[in-house]
A = this chain, B = another copy of it.
Amino acid sequence: MGSLGWLGRDVITVLDFTREDLEVLFTEALNMEKYAKSRLNILNGKVLALAFFEPSTRTRLSFETAMLRLGGSVIGFSGVEATSMAKGENLADTIRMLDAYADAIVIRHSIEGAAKFAAEIAASPVINAGDGSQNHPTQAMLDLYTIWREFGTIDGLSIGILGDLRYARVVNSLIQALSYYRVRLHLISPEPLKPRRELIEFMNSRGMVYDWTDDPYRVINDVDVLYVVRIQRERFPDPMEYERVRGTYKVDLKLIEKAKPQMVILHPLPRVDEIDFAVDNTHHAKYFKQASLGVPLRMALLKLVLGGES
């Protein structure tokens, strides 16, 4: 299972790439960190189209910044305009238009499979910036890159994932990415937000080592990485149930008191109240660092896919 290479490829799920591909990406991202606050003119003249049918300011701005820092330009739509777009025209025709105008397309869509569908239509590379509830591959690549940067390795780590393991789109992509590595997974969630059966079956098929608990205090002392995702009130059929459990899953000073000294906390952001602000000031908090690495990681991705020379 060697590198399949990145040039001209679509980025639809993490599983389209090999461990070797990911490591090529990480090495390039490390190189790109030197340029994340300056400019490389390697994509001069290229145009990236952003088709955000679903809002995501953070992901959108990190792609935009990455493209601009590489010397390229950005066109696209998001928000309200995207909504009316989505109503007025079939997705295939919209993608054909962007394909005709731009050199690559970044798509975010609420419907599962929208990115794959777009990739089948477009001749240019399509990058999935989140579709449906299962895939957000560039976020998972960023998550792994952050871990790799912090520990110098991913193999051998114990990784806790805390929060909504059922509906949070990043969890599925993250676990797919981690399946390339020898890690020990602690899955932590309220009972109603346990991982779906498909994800369990995936982990089994890959021989991944994992356990599940509804109590973060049971595993906090073992994890090297605590990856936190939001728990949304709407996911609970019974609002009282949500109120009952939410406190348990809030990461605060009391919880991390039990953690290893080198434990790092990650979060895809934005957060609402799942991490207490007091935690921000501890050396465990790496979610802002993680967010800032989104630019060099996506610079590396765009460079590899669009083939800029450095």
Contacts and interface: CB of A to CB of B under 8 A. Distances in A.
A224 to B, nearest CB: 24
A39 interface: yes
Interface string A164-187: 000000000000000000000000
Contacts of A97: 58, 61, 269, 291
Within the oligomer, what is the number of copies of this chain?
3
Contacts of A101: 61-62, 65, 292, 294-295
Contacts of A37: 103
Interface residues of A, number: 47
Nearest to A45: B39
Interface stretch (A72-80, A193-201, A253-261): A72-80
A294 B269 CA distance: 36
Given A75-B65, A79-B80, A96 B288 contact: yes
What does DSSP make chain A's interface, helix, strand, loop or mixed?
A: helix
Contacts of A46: 39
Contacts of A156: none
A271 interface: yes
B85 A57 contact: yes
A84 interface: yes
B55 A100 contact: no
A217 to B, nearest CB: 26
A88 B102 CA distance: 31
Interface of A: 37-39, 44-47, 49, 55, 57-58, 61-62, 64-65, 68-69, 73, 75-81, 84-85, 88-89, 93-94, 96-98, 100-103, 269-272, 288, 291-292, 294-295
30 contacts: A37-B103, A38-B45, A39-B45, A47-B65, A47-B68, A55-B84, A57-B77, A57-B85, A61-B75, A61-B77, A61-B101, A62-B101, A68-B73, A68-B75, A79-B80, A79-B84, A88-B270, A89-B269, A89-B272, A93-B269, A93-B270, A94-B270, A96-B288, A96-B291, A97-B269, A100-B288, A100-B291, A100-B292, A100-B294, A101-B292
